[in-house]
Structure 1
Amino acid sequence: MRYRVRHITEYSYGAPVSLCYNMAHLLPRDTRNQRCLHQKVQINPPPVYQNDGEDYFGNQTFYFSIQEAHKKLVIDVTTDFEITPLNVLEWASQHTLNCGQLRAQLNAPNTPELRMAKEYLLDSPQIHRSEDLKDYATSTFADDKPVLQAALAFTHKIFTEFTFDPASTTVATPLEQVLKQRSGVCQDFAHLAIGCLRSVGIPARYMSGYLETLPPPGQEKLVGADASHAWFAVFIPELGWVEFDPTNDIMPNDQHIVTAWGRDYSDVTPLQGVIFEGGGSQQLAVSVDVKRV
Structure 2
Amino acid sequence: MPIVSIRHRTTYRYRNPVAFGEHRVMFRPLEGYDQRVLSAELAITPEPSLLRNVHDVFGNCVSIARFAGRSDVLSFEGRVELEHTPQPGFAGLDCDVDLYRGGGAQTYGADDLPDLARSIARQHPDPDGEIAAWARRFVRPVGATRLQTLLSDMTHAIRAEFAYGVRLHGEPQSPTQTLASRRGSCRDFAVLMIEAARNLGLAARFASGYVYSATRGKGRAGGGHTHAWARVYLPSCGWIEFDPTNGIVGNTDLVRVAITRDPRQATPLHGTWSGLPNDYLGMDVEVDIAVEEVVLTQPVAQLRVGESR
The root-mean-square deviation of aligned C-alpha atoms, in Å, is 2.6
Query: Distance between the aligned counterparts of 1:59 and 1:123, measured in 2?
Result: 23
Residue 262 of structure 1: how far off its partner (Å): 0.5
Q: 1:62 to 1:129 in 2, by over 3 A?
A: farther
Q: How does 1:206-217 map to 2 (within 5 A)?
A: 206-213=206-213, 217=217
| Whole-Å separation in 1 of the counterparts to 2:116 and 2:212 | 29
**Alpha-carbon separation, structure 2, partners of 1:174 and 1:88:** 27
Partner of 1:2: 3
**Contact persistence 2:101–2:107 (CA under 8 A):** no
The one-letter code sitting in structure 2 at the alignment partner of 1:117 is L
By percentage of residues, which structure has more helix? Answer: 1
CA change 1:242–1:129 in 2 (3 A) is farther
Sequence identity (%): 26
Larger radius of gyration: 2
Q: Which amino acid aligns with 2:287?
A: V
Cα displacement (A) at 1:167: 6.1
Contact 1:168–1:183, Cα closer than 8 Å, also in 2: no
Amino acid at match of 1:44: T
Distance 2:169 2:41 in 1: 33
Report the equivalent of 1:81. Answer: 82
Task: Please report how far the alpha carbon of residue 170 of structure 1 lies from its aligned counterpart in structure 2 after TM superposition.
Answer: 4.5
**Whole-Å separation in 1 of the counterparts to 2:11 and 2:53:** 20
Structure 1 regions of 5+ residues with no counterpart?
A: none
Rate the CA distance shift 1:214–1:158 in 2: closer, same or farther, 3 A: same
Deviation at 1:91, TM superposition (A): 6.4
Q: Which amino acid aligns with 1:158?
A: I
The residue number in structure 2 matching 1:184 is 184
Deviation string 1:118-169 (CA, Å, 9 cap, x unpaired) is 2201244xx5566221111112135831111100000111111100123699
Give the alignment of 1:217-256 within 5 angstroms.
217=217, 226-256=224-254
Counterpart of 1:233, as a letter, is: R
Q: 8 Å contact 2:214–2:253 — kept in the other structure?
A: no
Q: Which residue of 1 aligns with 2:155?
A: 155
Distance 1:78 1:13, change over 3 A: same
> Deviation per CA, 1:172-199, whole angstroms, max 9, x where unpaired?
5322111100001111000110111112
Question: What SS class does the counterpart of residue 201 from structure 2 fall into?
Answer: coil
* Structure 1 CA distance for aligned equivalents of residues 274 and 245 of structure 2: 37
Contact 2:98–2:236, Cα closer than 8 Å, also in 1: no
Classify 1:102/1:171 alpha carbon distance in 2 versus 1 (closer, same or farther; 3 Å): closer
TM-score, length of structure 2 as denominator length? 0.83
Asked if the contact 2:5–2:81 (Cα under 8 Å) also holds between the matched residues in 1, the reply is yes
Correspondence list, 1:68-217, <5 A: 68-86=69-87, 88-90=89-91, 95-100=96-101, 102-106=103-107, 109-111=109-111, 113-124=112-123, 127-128=124-125, 131-142=129-140, 144-166=144-166, 170-213=170-213, 217=217
Choose which of 244, 256, 259 in structure 1 pairs with 2:257.
Answer: 259
Aligned CA distance change for structure 1 residues 141 and 31 (closer, same or farther; 3 Å): farther
**Is 1:283 equivalent to 2:294 in the alignment?**
no
3-state SS of 2:193 partner: helix
Q: What is the number of equivalent residue pairs in this alignment?
A: 284
CA 1:102–1:174 in structure 2 vs 1: closer, same or farther (change >3 Å)? Answer: closer
Q: Distance in 2 between matches of 1:129 and 1:207?
A: 23
- CA distance in 2 between partners of 1:169 and 1:154 (Å): 26
What is the deviation of 1:251? 1.3
Q: For the structure 1 residues 201 and 102, does the alpha-carbon distance in structure 2 shift closer, same or farther, using more than 3 Å as the test?
A: closer
Q: In structure 2, what is the equivalent of residue 272 of structure 1?
A: 270
Q: Can you list the C-alpha shifts for 1:189-237, whole angstroms capped at 9, x where unaligned?
A: 00110111112211111111101146874x9x9xxx6321111011001
Check the 8 A contact 2:172/2:187 in 1, yes or no. Answer: no
- Change beyond 3 A, Cα 1:192–1:233: same
The TM-score with structure 1 as length reference comes to: 0.88
Question: What is the CA distance between 1:87 and its match in structure 2?
Answer: 5.6
Q: Secondary structure at the match of 1:88?
A: coil
Say which SS state the counterpart of residue 245 (structure 2) adopts.
coil
- Distance, in Å, in 1 between the alignment partners of 2:23 and 2:144 is 47
Q: Distance in 1 between matches of 2:272 and 2:152?
A: 40
